[in-house]
Amino acid sequence: MKFISVIAILLSLATGIVYSWAQGTTHSINLPEARVELKPGEGLQKVETFCNICHSLDYIIMQPKLTKPQWTGTVNKMIKVFGAPITEEDAGLIVNYLVAQYGAGN
């Protein structure tokens, strides 16, 4: 009996290893798909199109209520520093949306 339980333990250890290292020396995980719903409002479609290119939209929800200069600075950083392909017109729509829905109101 003792012998059998030792084998059982060894087997469970082995399957544990096989489970976490499914293909021998390869270690893999599956990341869940990001899904975030923002508040409705004018400009939402632009936000969903452009901000989503680089990051999930909960980056917006997470922020404190930023002022208009702060949201403008953040959107400008995305364009000038990180190269987000956003036209000036769309940037204006995006900033207005962020200030209206996730802003400090000034």
Partner 1 sequence: MSYRRITRRDFLKTAGSLTAITAMGGFPSSLFAEERRLVRFPEKTDLILLTQRPPQLETPLGYFKELVTPNDALFVRWHISHVPTSIDLNQWRLKVGGNTETELQLSMDDLKKFEKVTYTAVLQCSGNGRSLFEPRVAGGQWKNGAMGNVTFTGARLKDILNKAGLKAGSVDVSFDGLDSPPLPSVPDLVKSLPVDKAMEEDIIVAYEMNGRYMPMLNGFPVRLVVPGWYATYWVKALTEITVLPKQFEGFWVKTAYRIPDTPCGCVDPGSSPKKTIPIHRMTTRSLIVNPEDKARLKVNRSFEIMGIAFSGGYSIKQVIVSLDEGRTWKEARLGQDKGRYSWIQWFYPWKPVKSGNYTLMAKATNSIGESQPSEGLWNPAGYLWNKVEKVEVLVS
Per rule CB under 8 A, is residue 28 in the interface with partner 1? yes
Name the helix (H) or strand (E) containing 16: helix 2-20
Task: Indicate the residue among 7 and 104 with the shorter CB distance to partner 1.
Answer: 104
Asked if 105 interacts with partner 1 (CB under 8 A), we say no
Nearest in space to 85 (alpha carbons), one of 48, 55, 53:
53
Q: Is 39 in the site for partner 1 (CB under 8 A)?
A: yes
> Distance between CA atoms of 25 and 8, rounded to whole angstroms?
24
Q: Using the rule CB under 8 A, give the single segment among 1-9, 10-18, 48-56, 86-94 that binds partner 1.
A: 48-56
The reply on whether position 7 binds partner 1 by CB under 8 A is no
The two structure tokens encoding residue 34: 């990001």
d(CA 58, CA 47): 12
Residues near partner 1 (CB under 8 A): 23-39, 53-56, 58-59, 61-66, 70, 73-74, 81-84, 102
